Amino acid sequence: MLGAPGAGKGTQAARLAEAFGLVHISTGDIFRANLSQGTPLGRKAQEYMDRGDLVPDDVTVAMVKDRLGAADVARGFILDGFPRTLPQAEALDRVLAERDSRVDCAVYLKVPDAVLVDRLTGRRVCPSCGANYHARSHPPKREGVCDVCGAALTVRPDDREATVKKRLAVFHQSTAPLIDYYRDRGALLKADGEGSVDAVTGFVVSALKQRSRHD
Ligand code: AP5
């Protein structure tokens, strides 16, 4: 899944994993899990994440390589938020080539920056069950309280406005070149990420089914 912060990569990756029976691998989620467990990897990643920068390529690639070594990925997987730089994309190609595999499709969710700033600065997350809300467009029934498990909702530290703007700048500089990288090899599927969550899922699922019929 390719797209700027807040484009809906996590939301759509979870739905696509369900629809196609794939494993959902989010590098952001793995970093956050390490952070909350206080591991050396989490401590290393935190300073970069808090200021909206990318975690260095060598750290990220080693982590993904390790995750792709697990048995469950044999049924196929969706990478959410990886690769995010050209060196990461090239490293991924090498890792997959070693297994006679390749990236079948890079799904790019396109959303204007102004919409992304609103989505992220309004996002509220449940630290306990992971449910996701938006202060205005998808508020919980009781302000600040998770509908699912009743825990107090929090704001992700990197969703504060100044950090969101930094993350967007990093996307345009370091990640956007991957759009051409995958387009040039005929692997890009571009989707309008501004529609409703259901509309985006519907478009991507049917486009992926169509592609697999032509493979
Ligand atoms: P990560 O967790 O991947 O953050 P991100 O890319 O900034 O993505 P987000 O989770 O903010 O957004 P998303 O596109 O997944 O959208 P979501 O579905 O949540 O990474 C965090 C940090 O980790 C990075 O900044 C970096 O430091 C580090 N990192 C991670 N991967 C790395 C890598 N490969 N290399 C180096 N460093 C790395 O949706 C966002 C909000 O919008 C939600 O509230 C959702 O409900 C809402 N929403 C979703 N879709 C719609 C829709 N269609 N309409 C209205 N609202 C919607």
Going by alpha carbons, the residue nearest to atom 21 of ligand 1 is 28
Going by alpha carbons, the residue nearest to atom 52 of ligand 1 is 197
- Measured in angstroms, how far is the CA atom of residue 123 from the centroid of ligand 1? 11
Atom of ligand 1 nearest to the CA of 119: 42
Q: Which pLDDT does position 212 carry in this prediction?
A: 82
The best mutation among 29, 46, 54, 60 to test binding of ligand 1, ranked by most ligand atoms within 8 Å of the C-beta, falls on 54
Q: Which pLDDT does position 82 carry in this prediction?
A: 98
Q: Which DSSP category does 138 fall into?
A: B
Q: Average pLDDT of each block of 10 consecutive residues along the chain (215 residues)?
A: 96 95 96 92 93 96 94 94 98 95 96 95 91 90 96 94 95 98 97 95 96 78
Q: Which pLDDT does position 214 carry in this prediction?
A: 72
Q: Which pLDDT does position 211 carry in this prediction?
A: 87
Q: Which pLDDT does position 178 carry in this prediction?
A: 98
In the Cβ-directed half-sphere of 186, how many Cα atoms lie within 13 Å?
Answer: 3
CA distance 147 to 79: 28
Q: Which pLDDT does position 130 carry in this prediction?
A: 84
Alpha helices in 21-83 (DSSP H): 27-37, 40-50, 57-68
Q: Which pLDDT does position 109 carry in this prediction?
A: 98
Q: Which pLDDT does position 25 carry in this prediction?
A: 97
CB 103 within 8 Å of CB 186: no
CA distance 159 to 119: 9
Does ligand 1 have an atom closer than 6 angstroms to the CB of 105? Answer: no
Q: Catalytic site residues?
A: 9, 84, 123, 156, 167
Enumerate residues 6+ apart whose C-beta is below 8 A from 144.
Answer: 124, 152, 153
Nearest alpha-carbon partner for 31 in 16, 15, 47 = 47
Enumerate residues 6+ apart whose C-beta is below 8 A from 58.
Answer: none
Q: Which pLDDT does position 132 carry in this prediction?
A: 87
Does ligand 1 have an atom closer than 6 angstroms to the CB of 126? Answer: no
Atom of ligand 1 nearest to the CA of 109: 14
Does ligand 1 have an atom closer than 6 angstroms to the CB of 15? Answer: no
Does ligand 1 have an atom closer than 6 angstroms to the CB of 4? Answer: no
Q: Which pLDDT does position 65 carry in this prediction?
A: 95
